[in-house]
C-alpha cells in the first residue's frame, strides 16, 4: 500500500470530523477542527491511499514540548502502516522544530495504539483517572524524549 503523508489545513475540517466519527466514541466536531487549525501552535498531517484521505495526525507545539492531540486511521485500514507513517511524520516534525519531548493520552484499553506508541519510544509516565467518556475510562499518559536535529 502506497501511503502519502501531507500537511492539512482548515479546508479539511469537515472531512476530518467525518473520519473522526468512524474512529472515536466522542469525536471532535467540525468547529473543533476549525479552532485547532486557527491555532498557530497546531500542526495537522493527513495520510492518503489512492488519493483518498484515510487517516490524520494532529499535534501541538508549545515552547519545547509537543503533544499529540489526535491520530486516527479508518478502522478497515488499521494495521497497514498508516498510523506508523503519521507517527513518524509527527515525531520528525517535532524534532525538526527543536522540541525536546512529546506527550499523548491514550485509552487504557487501546492496546494496539499503546503498542504503536511504545514502538516509537513513548513510555507511560502516569494514569489520568476517568479521563475519557463514552465509556468512562482511564487514560495512559505517555512521553517520548527527543533529540532535536538542530542540536
Is 27 within a domain?
Answer: yes
Residue 119 has pLDDT above 50, yes or no: yes
Is 93 within a domain?
Answer: yes
Is 115 within a domain?
Answer: yes
- CA-to-CA dists, residue 20 to 8, 25, 54, 110, 148, angstroms: 15, 9, 11, 16, 31
pTM given for the model? 0.90
pLDDT tens per residue across span 16-56 = 999 999 999 889 999 999 999 999 999 999 999 998 999 99
Residues marked as catalytic: 105, 117
pLDDT tens per residue across span 50-83 = 989 999 999 999 989 999 999 999 999 999 999 9
Residue 121 lies in domain: 4-145
Q: What is the mean pLDDT of the chain?
A: 92
Is 75 within a domain?
Answer: yes
Is 151 within a domain?
Answer: no
Instruction: Report the domain count for the chain.
Output: 1
Confidence (pLDDT) at 74: 95
Is 132 within a domain?
Answer: yes
CATH code at 71?
Answer: 3.40.630.30
Confidence (pLDDT) at 63: 87
**Residue 93, exposed/middle/buried by CB under 10 A (0-12, 13-18, 19+)?**
middle
Amino acid at each position: 500500500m502506497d501511503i502519502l503523508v501531507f500537511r492539512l489545513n482548515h479546508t479539511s475540517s469537515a472531512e476530518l470530523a467525518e473520519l473522526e466519527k468512524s474512529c472515536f466514541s466522542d469525536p471532535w466536531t467540525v468547529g473543533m477542527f476549525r479552532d485547532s487549525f486557527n491555532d498557530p501552535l497546531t500542526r495537522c498531517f493527513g495520510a492518503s491511499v489512492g488519493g483518498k484521505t484515510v487517516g490524520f495526525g494532529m499535534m501541538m507545539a508549545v515552547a519545547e514540548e509537543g503533544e499529540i492531540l489526535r491520530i486516527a486511521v479508518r478502522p478497515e485500514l488499521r494495521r497497514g502502516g498508516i498510523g506508523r507513517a503519521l507517527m513518524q511524520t509527527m515525531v520528525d516534525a517535532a524534532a525538526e522544530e527543536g522540541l525536546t519531548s512529546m506527550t499523548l493520552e491514550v485509552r487504557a484499553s487501546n492496546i494496539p495504539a499503546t503498542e504503536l506508541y511504545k514502538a516509537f519510544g513513548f513510555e507511560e509516565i502516569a494514569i489520568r483517572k476517568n479521563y475519557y467518556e463514552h465509556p468512562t475510562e482511564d487514560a495512559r499518559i505517555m512521553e517520548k524524549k527527543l533529540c532535536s536535529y538542530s542540536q
